[in-house]
Amino acid sequence: MHDDLSPLCSRFLEAADLLGRRWTGVILRILMDGPCRFGELTERIGTISERVLSERLKDLEAEGILERHVDPGPPIRSEYRLTEKGQAFWKVIDELGKWAERWVDVKATRAAPRKRKSA
């Protein structure tokens, strides 16, 4: 007997794990439109908490998917932009967007806790 039937490619597992963290897809989607600052990301996403946004940005930076640029103004501003690796993700986001447009039906307005089951 084998202990493992056709194990999934570990690269795929990593990629899926990346997207499997909440907000990752949305952050990437926004950055596809161009560099963005912390506050702008917060506003555009709308319901993400700053705590998690900060964490996610660090993750993505550590993964080499985006870079943080600090412009010491004087009005100091930081900006997040995709690296080549991050840009390359656009096809995934694009297909996800197409799928969503075709198959997701807009129901109610989503609230904070992922989903309120019925009541």
**Chain residues in the site for DNA (CB under 7 A):** 21-23, 37-40, 47-52, 54-55, 57-58, 68, 72-79, 112-115
Q: Where are the alpha helices (DSSP H) in the chain?
A: 10-19, 24-32, 38-45, 50-62, 84-87, 90-103
Q: Which of 39, 54, 45, 51 is nearest to 25 (CA)?
A: 45
Q: Centre a 10 Å sphere on the Cβ of residue 41 and count the other Cβ atoms it contains.
A: 21
Dihedral sign from CA coordinates of 53, 26, 11, 80: negative
Smallest gap from Cβ 80 to DNA, in A, equals 7
**Residue 78 or residue 100: which is nearer to its own copies going by CB?**
100
91 binds, among DNA, its own copies, none (CB under 5 to 8 A by kind): its own copies
Q: Which single residue is written with the structure tokens 């596809």?
A: 32
Residue 54 as a binder of its own copies (CB under 8 A): the answer is no
In whole angstroms, give the CA distance from residue 50 to residue 38: 9
Total site size for its own copies, rule CB under 8 A: 50
**Residue 72 or residue 105: which is nearer to its own copies going by CB?**
105
User: Residue 111 is encoded by which pair of tokens?
Assistant: 């609230």
**Residue 17 or residue 98: which is nearer to DNA going by CB?**
17
**Residue 69 or residue 98: which is nearer to DNA going by CB?**
69
Residues in 72-111 at the binding interface with its own copies, rule: CB under 8 A: 85, 88-89, 91-92, 94-106, 109-110
